[in-house]
């Protein structure tokens, strides 16, 4: 199954789960209300999410004069990727990370931390920036924003259903109702939505790695950068990082092990590095 088909299938699955929950809460009117809530939230996320996330991390837009190395790499790689020049931002933290945001290639931004700009070699930084430009080219920010919004809506509707079940006895008067099944669905739905969100995020990271390798033609530069970033995530955690925006970054800024890895927004760094090394050897294609 191609990455695009897989993403479309998972997004359709989330929408179906959302509509089913809405119907469970309020019948036909609940179904319509869930759909309207989803549209309103997606509209707001589409227009304002980029500004909010940049503001939340204290990112500052920089000019070529202020950050010539960073700005120059972004401009050169954007030209190679045949993308409009995105805005360039620096995040004031010693943590090593970067992300791209924007509703489309014409309204995009690339943000990198002070730490990553100071500690990566040119080939490594080029690999990271190319990865972020691949996200822009694939319109991943729009996809991840919609999916995250839908997951949040599902959680909201599930809580509404739970409160309705507690205070009104749910829908026990309906024919053929199954109260136990409905309660299980209310509990499981948000977890399922979260897992679908993570599955989409992980698949898009693999695609961005491949796309970034193609843009920069330096898969080993990105592989080496990922090793450094994964290690730095444990040594210098990002204080402002939150679960709502963790999927935006090139490596997960939320450090965790054991069971938490099952709920990670990113694939294992070792697996990503292995795939990039295969691209360098020519055994795996450098495109997505």
Check if 182 is active-site.
no
Return the sign of the alpha-carbon dihedral for residues 39, 55, 248, 221.
positive
Measured in whole angstroms, the distance separating CA 68 from the mean position of its chain's CA atoms is 28
Measured in whole angstroms, the distance separating CA 217 from the mean position of its chain's CA atoms is 24
H helix or E strand, kind and range, residue 70: helix 68-80
Residue 88 in 3-state DSSP? strand
Q: How many CA atoms lie within 13 A of 231 on its CB side?
A: 8
Quote the CA–CA distance of 140 and 102 in Å, as a whole number.
Answer: 9
Phi/psi at 139 (5° precision): 60, 35
Q: Strand locations in 166-232, DSSP E?
A: none
Quote the CA–CA distance of 141 and 268 in Å, as a whole number.
Answer: 21
Do residues 230 and 111 touch, judged by C-beta distance below 8 A? Answer: no
Of 126, 132, 205, 214, which residue is the catalytic one? 132
Number of other residues whose CB lies within 10 A of the CB of residue 254: 18
For the annotated catalytic residues, the residue numbers are 132
């Amino acid at each position: 199954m191609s990455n695009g088909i897989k993403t479309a299938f998972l997004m359709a699955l989330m929408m179906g789960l959302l509509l089913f929950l809405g119907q469970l809460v309020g019948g036909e009117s609940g179904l319509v209300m869930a759909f309207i809530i989803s549209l309103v939230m997606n509209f707001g996320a589409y227009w304002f999410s980029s500004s909010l996330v940049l503001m939340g991390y204290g990112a500052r837009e920089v000019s070529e004069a202020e950050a010539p190395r960073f700005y120059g790499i972004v401009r050169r790689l954007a030209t190679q990727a045949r993308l409009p020049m995105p805005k360039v931002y620096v995040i004031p933290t010693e943590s090593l990370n970067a992300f791209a945001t924007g509703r489309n290639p014409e309204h995009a931004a690339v943000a990198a931390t002070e730490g990553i700009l100071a500690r990566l070699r040119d080939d490594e930084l080029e690999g990271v920036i190319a990865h972020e430009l691949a996200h822009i080219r694939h319109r991943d920010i729009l996809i991840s924003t919609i999916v995250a919004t839908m997951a949040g809506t599902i959680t909201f509707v599930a809580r509404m259903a739970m409160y309705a079940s507690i205070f009104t006895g749910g829908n026990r008067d309906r024919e053929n109702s199954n109260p136990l099944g409905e309660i299980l669905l209310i509990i499981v739905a948000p977890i399922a939505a979260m897992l679908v969100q993570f599955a989409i995020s992980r698949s898009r990271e693999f695609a961005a790695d491949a796309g970034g390798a193609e843009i920069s033609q330096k898969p080993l530069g990105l592989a080496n950068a990922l090793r450094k970033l994964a290690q730095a995530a444990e040594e210098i955690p990002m204080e402002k990082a939150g679960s709502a925006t963790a999927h935006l970054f090139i490596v997960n800024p939320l450090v965790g092990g054991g069971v938490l890895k099952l709920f990670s927004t990113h694939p294992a760094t070792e697996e990503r590095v292995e795939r990039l090394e295969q691209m360098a050897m020519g055994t795996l294609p450098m495109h997505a």
